């Protein structure tokens, strides 16, 4: 078994384990740390897929900024152990089997999808890794207007967060 396969399986197992811990754990802070684990293993998978810029952004923005925000809010609100509530009968007997069925169905069709089969058979194998230069040219030429629009979006989000979280006089 070659190195990329080993790295893929290690990261996949870590990501799925992190997601399971997110579901199972009762303390929000444990869930947050499990989510950081998922994000870091996804960043390694992005490196494996030849997208180093996206991997760096994933670590800086997701695992860094967003998760620090989450941990900050958990600490600020002193969020303790989650209360356990009873599931409704509908969720237990209809929702859970249907969710599992949907999961299996998605996995089945992804395995049968032409793009996956083509890559698996060695037809249309991916080219060299996407360089950050090409990505930035694409971003600042073809996608310049959406890029500028996101700056306005972030400005509005900052204002909204300030207004919402302000203490009432």
Euclidean distance between CA atoms 94 and 90, whole angstroms: 5
Torsion of CA 151, 154, 155, 158, to 10 degrees: -160
CB of 46 to another protein, least distance (A): 6
User: Toward another protein, which CB reaches closer, 93 or 143?
Assistant: 143
The torsion region of residue 99 among left (phi > 0), alpha (psi -120 to 50) and beta comes to: alpha
Chain centre to alpha carbon of residue 34: 12
Determine whether 37 is exposed, middle or buried from the number of CB atoms within 10 Å of its CB (0-12, 13-18, 19+).
middle
Least Å distance, CB 112 to another protein, is 9
Minimum distance from residue 89 beta carbon to another protein (Å) = 15
Answer whether 38's CB lies under 8 Å from 59's CB: no
Residue closer to another protein (CB basis): 93 or 107: 107
In the complex, what is the shortest distance from the CB of residue 111 to another protein, in angstroms, rounded to a whole number?
Answer: 5
In the chain, what's the furthest Cα-to-Cα distance? 65
Judged by CB, which is closer to another protein: 89, or 120? 120
CB of 50: closest distance to another protein in angstroms?
6
């Amino acid at each position: 078994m070659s190195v990329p396969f080993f790295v893929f399986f290690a990261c996949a197992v870590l990501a799925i384990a992190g997601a399971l811990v997110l579901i199972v754990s009762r303390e929000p802070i444990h869930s947050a740390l499990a989510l950081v684990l998922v994000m870091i293993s996804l960043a390694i998978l992005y490196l494996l897929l030849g997208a180093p810029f996206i991997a760096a952004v994933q670590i800086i923005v997701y695992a860094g900024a967003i998760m620090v925000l989450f941990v900050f809010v958990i600490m600020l609100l002193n969020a303790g152990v989650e209360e356990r509530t009873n599931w409704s009968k509908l969720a237990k007997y209809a929702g859970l089997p249907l969710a599992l069925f949907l999961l299996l169905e998605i996995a089945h069709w992804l395995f049968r999808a032409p793009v996956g089969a083509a890559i698996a058979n060695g037809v249309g194998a991916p080219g060299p890794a996407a360089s950050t230069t090409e990505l930035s040219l694409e971003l600042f030429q073809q996608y310049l207007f959406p890029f500028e629009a996101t700056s306005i979006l972030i400005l509005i989000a900052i204002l909204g967060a300030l207004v919402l979280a302000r203490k009432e006089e």
